[in-house]
Chains A and B, each alone.
Chain A
Amino acid sequence: QKEVEQDPGPLSVPEGAIVSLNCTYSNSAFQYFMWYRQYSRKGPELLMYTYSSGNKEDGRFTAQVDKSSKYISLFIRDSQPSDSATYLCAKPAGGTSYGKLTFGQGTILTVHP
């Protein structure tokens, strides 16, 4: 079982919709989680990170962790065409980390006008 599982989608929504992106994880040893955004033919960029203590909000984006169900979510409010990208959840890798991250498969999101 992968440490992080993510539904690859693709997900297509109209502009203005609320988007929910989700991941499940299997190792509870680490206490922070990250969301990276990757535009087409670009490298991933850190969008948000959150510690496993509730929600974190940044503009239209909210990251949420549910420790009891080992579920992490990213919500996008008032989605825009510019939000069209692949979204990757990540967490520190198990064992001796050395800063390694384990990524989910990525969810491809398209927001159409």
Chain B
Amino acid sequence: NAGVTQTPKFRVLKTGQSMTLLCAQDMNHEYMYWYRQDPGMGLRLIHYSVGEGTTAKGEVPDGYNVSRLKKQNFLLGLESAAPSQTSVYFCASRPGLRVNEQFFGPGTRLTVL
């Protein structure tokens, strides 16, 4: 049982490049979330999903897109990366609303030059 995994762990992009971050969970959780973490800002929600085939915007969705084609995977895309998207990205999952806890992945460190 690997829990929540994220791929890649590190990435450096040039401005304007695109990339996709992959989040996978093997716990059969319904809910999945993408956050970014910046110094002094805490964790801010980018997008989330309440089940396979669903996505919704969070607090800071601009410049990102997401897809949840399979229950276990939640993809975060950057179509045209900007230096302001330099951050650490965390994915989290949650079984359902009866369980309060979100389970986090190890993070992806992204630098946009």
Contacts and interface: CB of A to CB of B under 8 A. Distances in A.
A21 to B, nearest CB: 14
Interface string B20-64: 000000000001010000001111110010100000101000000
Contact of B31 (A42, A43, A98, A105): A98
Given A103-B43, A106-B42, A45 B104 contact: yes
Contacts of B50: 98-99
B41 A43 contact: no
A42 B42 contact: no
A68 B44 CA distance: 27
A96 B102 CA distance: 17
Given A43-B4, A49-B101, A98-B48, A104 B42 contact: yes
B30 to A, nearest CB: 9
Contacts of B58: 100
Contacts of A105: 40-42
B90 A100 contact: no
User: What is the interface residue range for chain B against chain A?
Assistant: 20 to 34
Contacts, number: 53
Interface residues of A, number: 22
Interface in A52-102: 88, 93, 97-101
Contacts of A100: 33, 45, 48, 58
A6 B42 CA distance: 9
B94 interface: yes
Contacts of A88: 42-43
B97 interface: yes
A99 B107 contact: no
Interface string B55-84: 010100000000000000000000000000
Nearest to B32: A99
6 contacts: A34-B101, A98-B31, A99-B97, A103-B44, A105-B41, A105-B42
